[in-house]
Amino acid sequence: MKLIDRVEELSGLEIYWKKRASQLVVIYGKRRVGKTSLIQAFSQRHPHIYFLADKTTESENLKSLGRAVGKHFEDSILTRNGFKNWYDFFEYLKHRVKTKTVFAIDEFPYLAEGNKAISSVFQKGWDETLSKLPIFLILCGSSIGMMESETLAYHAPLYGRRTAQILVRPFSFLEARNFYPTYDFAKFLEIYSVTGGNPAYLMKLKEAKNLKDALVRFVLKPVELLFEEVEFILKEELREPRQYMSILRAISFGCRKFGEIVNETGIEKSSLHKYLFTLEDLYLIDKEVPVTEKNPEKSRRGLYQITDQFVKFWFNYVYPFKGEIEIGNTLSALTQWTKSFDQIIAANYELAAREILRKHQAKLFAFARVGRWWEGNEEIDLVAVNESTRTILFGEAKWSNKQIGTNIYEDLKRKAAKVQWGGEDRKKRFVLFGKSGFTHDMRKLARLEGVLLFEKDKLI
């Protein structure tokens, strides 16, 4: 896969490459998020050895490792026989690595499955051998939980040895647009509302002639990897995938408050806290609070939401119809998709609007936070704040075929007056985002009152 973007991650790796000391870099992130592509793009610039661990026995992985190392050093005996144990591996590198070399071990958690003490083995190997060599060691993995527990956590044997770590995240909306440079805003927003910023998903759907064709060919088909992708991820990461499935299903169906999730799933409150924290740690959900909250962590007004766009899509249009899809009937899934997909697109337009606002801060003001605000039945799509200047922005994002009129703006000002933040002399700005533009009267009023207007993503 061609590497798109990842400029910051690559430049960070290059900074550490230039250091004289040996390096141990941990790279981790969700499946198919582009970790291997990042490693390969970096490695191609330097002498390197790349090894992909497999879900097999330790002896088989040692043989495969021997083939990778033997090929690099043109050692036919090692290539044929492999390593017998990890001591042989570290000892071999001790005598053969003379010039600075990248050594990348991909899917390190698979080694841990074959040997529960692998982190301790690598701790000893690093302390006694590798740290004294001109080596740039990369340990990479898709199991976020295992990578954190084996390499990053305080109790992990490798804790304190790493010199850097990179969490490879999915691309933001604006970054992901680079995958579809010829698509207009509306067409790409539809794609993003299925794939999110996962590069593998973005590239996969690109093979289809339109979105419906992509869903039929690559998502709503049992033989395709995306059909069971979510279940596979949960089974890889979690000991009790069924409980987590029920929680994600509840959230996707609109149960966003803690109590609502308890009632829907039947999970005990004490257990549910643990499950929700785990899903947050895996970057599958987050707890959203009104952006004006002074202590977000302690707020009792939090609403849970699925942050992984494909997981959200899968629970809405694949999971409820799995049985039918498995026998070749996609009608129910596609019918539901036609009925409700615009709601997901509209919610994602709000998220895209936040990114667009950040790009245009020079025309507004520098803000520390941007998000939503709600109180009772009142809600504002976009609120951004700067505490030091006591400046606040209010905005709405409407994904509708109707033009936005002055009524939307006047209602926004009414709701803004209810937001208790910054005192009576706070400075206020207003912005409106619309799919279909604005009425003549709204444009005229915007010029008079300094309201910023965006049609889709363009400032007008």
For the chain, what are the domain ranges? 7-167, 175-342, 360-459
- pLDDT above 80 for 2: no
Confidence of residue 210 (pLDDT cuts 50, 70, 90): very high
> Considering Cα of 320, then 323, then 327, then 332, what sign does the dihedral take?
negative
- pLDDT above 70 for 104: yes
- pLDDT above 80 for 411: yes
Half-sphere exposure of 300 (CA within 13 A, CB side): 1
Q: Give the mean pLDDT of 365-385.
A: 96
- pLDDT above 70 for 3: no
Supply the pLDDT for residue 299: 86
Confidence of residue 1 (pLDDT cuts 50, 70, 90): very low
Instruction: Locate 193 and state its tokens.
Output: 């509302």
Supply the pLDDT for residue 296: 84
Given this structure, which CATH class describes domain 7-167? alpha beta
CA atoms of 33 and 28, how far apart (whole Å): 9
The CATH architecture of the domain made up of 175-342 is Orthogonal Bundle (1.10)
CA atoms of 387 and 421, how far apart (whole Å): 9
Supply the pLDDT for residue 50: 98
Instruction: Locate 223 and state its tokens.
Output: 């033989």
DSSP category for residue 402: S
What region does 448 belong to: left with phi over 0, alpha with psi -120 to 50, or beta? alpha
Supply the pLDDT for residue 295: 87
Tokens 């533009």 belong to which residue?
A: 437
Span 255-290, pLDDT tens digits: 999 999 999 999 999 999 999 999 999 999 999 999
Q: What percent of the chain has pLDDT over 70?
A: 99
Distances (CA, A) of 404 to 213, 288, 384, 409, 440: 32, 27, 21, 8, 10
Q: Give the mean pLDDT of 213-220.
A: 96
CA atoms of 185 and 188, how far apart (whole Å): 5
CATH placement of domain 360-459: 3.40.1350.10
What's the whole-model pTM score? 0.91
CA atoms of 212 and 231, how far apart (whole Å): 22
Distances (CA, A) of 128 to 105, 123, 133, 151: 19, 8, 10, 17
- Cβ–Cβ < 8 Å for 380, 372: yes
